[in-house]
Chain A
């Protein structure tokens, strides 16, 4: 039954998300072409052109941020609407368990968020890549030297070194997405406990959960000695980042499991579709 639920969830949502992801990549592609075209003669461009390019860049950033925000909003609205409004009359009368129903919705939403993150990465990579390509073709700099220098240092700082390092980083990104989405889903479930003003209840639950998680994360980082490492960060920033990443990952996993179980339990035991 879970497979069927996932299939129909994808079927109901793919058009919107694929369109948004495609736009994010297309604007990156356009930005890359423009970037490649102006990379060599940026000093010779007239002031109006510079202003236009600056506006274009701001528009590009705005488009990416909007795409990311819109994806999250659509996912959250879809989750709420299909479960806790009149559409829930169909959803919760399907012969499936609450765990299956909520898991399918959550999983599909998280997959779309992950694909969005991937689309942003591709879009930005296209733009950055166009400058690298231009520099390489016109012998402005050695691309290998650039990758080995700046890019490697940056990746080393984030811990993206080697197969396991990369895998751990990707898992961390995934868990960040899972954690952030589960806060929304958990807050929506909490909101259902309100007899009236359920949306307001969800909003309050969301900010309260965020606040508690923030305090908890800070406390755990402090207790684990992360902040004493910060003093050494000038000499060894990688150690600090690596430590906080592992702590954050641990918190994300534990909190996500708790919020997942709680969301299902609340919906299963307290569902009241008025």
Chain B
């Protein structure tokens, strides 16, 4: 398996606060990886650095053999943890924008998913409910044939039905040669789809192992282990 993500000695400071400290991480292609940890553990910071939205204080971060830049952005599909699109744009406009900028964006797949949800492509984003906004954003992200999908809290704050749709969309659109990095603290909901997990604690990697390994070694689910590791 090829090394898709390569992070060495990554540190990120916010003034006096250290969000990430000396993180070393390698991810291979073809895995669904859960990035797990409580609030403030550094999940979003790590994700934003991978996507080029934050500058590391020190360390090396590479995706697909390139430092973060134009090359990596063209192979990374990112879903932020909040609405990030201009509310005045229609869905059709947003699709057109993605077609223009991302060669790997499959517009037919996007419209098919939209049809399933019965969302009007001419609707402005600001007129949609929170759940539908999240779904549209997920459609955009999963309609790309990216090498790395980075999903930041994709199922947080949505109802169980929307949660099922989101997870089904992720699974059904998953290209086995790609890697999906899912940040969440709703572990029981995603555990069944994960191959590997990364536990982040105080800005450092506390555990990086496969789900099967955890189950056989610890004799418990990832969710149970998480509750044990992060017990308050």
Given A12-B89, A95-B70, also A86-B82 (CB < 8 A): yes
Could you say which interface size class chain A belongs to?
20 to 34
The answer to whether B54 and A272 have CB atoms under 8 Å apart is yes
Q: Which of B51, B74, B86 has the most CB of A within 10 A?
A: B86
CB–CB B86/A82 < 8 A: yes
Per the 8 Å Cβ criterion, residues 171-196 of A in contact with B are 195
A255 sits at the interface (CB 8 A):
no
Within 8 A of B (CB), among A93-131: 93-97
Q: How far is the CB of B34 from chain A (nearest CB, A)?
A: 21
Chain B 65-96 interface mask (CB, 8 Å, partner A; 1/0): 00001110110101010111110110001000
Q: Which of A7, A88, A195 contacts B53 (CB 8 A)?
A: A88
Contact of A93 among B51, B82, B89, B97 (CB under 8 A): B51
Whether A142 sits at the interface, judged by CB under 8 Å, is no
In the complex, are the beta carbons of B100 and A4 less than 8 A apart? yes
For A272, list chain B residues within 8 Å (CB): 53-55
Residues of A contacting B70 in the complex (Cβ-Cβ under 8 angstroms): 95-97
Q: How far, in whole Å, are A94 and B85 apart by their CA atoms in the complex?
A: 13
Whether A8 contacts B100 by the Cβ 8 Å rule is yes
Residues of B within 8 A of A138 (CB): none
Shortest Cβ distance from B102 into A: residue: A95
Q: Are B76 and A93 in contact (CB under 8 A)?
A: yes
- Report the nearest A residue to B51, measured CB to CB: A93
A236 within 8 A of B: no
| Residues of A bordering B, CB below 8 Å | 1, 4, 7-8, 11-12, 82, 86-90, 92-97, 195, 269-273
Q: Could you jot down 30 A-B contacts, CB within 8 Å? A: A4-B100, A7-B100, A8-B97, A8-B100, A11-B93, A12-B89, A82-B86, A87-B84, A87-B86, A88-B84, A89-B53, A89-B78, A89-B80, A89-B84, A92-B51, A92-B52, A93-B51, A93-B53, A93-B76, A94-B101, A95-B70, A95-B74, A95-B101, A96-B101, A271-B52, A271-B53, A271-B54, A272-B54, A273-B53, A273-B54
